[in-house]
Amino acid sequence: MRSQDPELIPEGTPRVEGILTDGINVKGGTFLMEGSVEWRNRFLESFGSALFIDYGNTWLGYKRFRFDEVAIGIGFGFRLYTQVAPFRIDFGFKFYNPVSKKYIWDTWDKRILKNIEFHFGIGEAF
């Protein structure tokens, strides 16, 4: 996430039995919904690609869950499979931002690098 982007955390302080939060600035929720769908394709001996969709958010309790507050990210990536571990680079886009209630086509910047988040990793995500 870029520093100027709002965080996906609920407004307010979570109340959890047995945990005192009075006077403490606690962030976060007590109900989490998240998931990921990924399609991987290996080609040649050492190369691969991936397409993915990630989604989720947190709320202050399951009764506050709303479908229009679920963030959705989409993207693609490339893999280099070695004898040690796969190396991967992923490029992601915010498909739906629940903070602004806007889709990717509502916020697309002509400077394409402003729209992309990238991630480098060693090993598979799951």
pLDDT in tens, 53-107: 999 998 988 898 999 999 999 999 999 999 989 999 999 998 998 988 889 888 8
pLDDT recorded at residue 2: 42
pLDDT recorded at residue 1: 39
Residue 1 lies in a domain: no
Residue 6 lies in a domain: no
pLDDT recorded at residue 35: 95
DSSP designation for 11: S
Q: What distance in Å separates the CA atoms of residue 109 and residue 102, rounded to the nearest whole number? A: 13
Residue 116 lies in a domain: yes
Residue 11 lies in a domain: no
Q: What distance in Å separates the CA atoms of residue 112 and residue 120, rounded to the nearest whole number? A: 19
Residue 95 lies in a domain: yes
Residue 76 lies in a domain: yes
> How many structural domains are present in the chain?
1
Identify the bridge partners of residue 87 per DSSP, sorted by sequence position: 80, 122
Residue 87 lies in a domain: yes
Which residue bears the tokens 């993915």? Answer: 52
CA-wise closest residue to 60 among 82, 81, 30, 87: 30
User: Which residue range(s) make up the domain with 86?
Assistant: 36-55+69-122
- Residue 113 exposure: Cα atoms within 13 Å on the Cβ side: 0
Residue 49 lies in a domain: yes
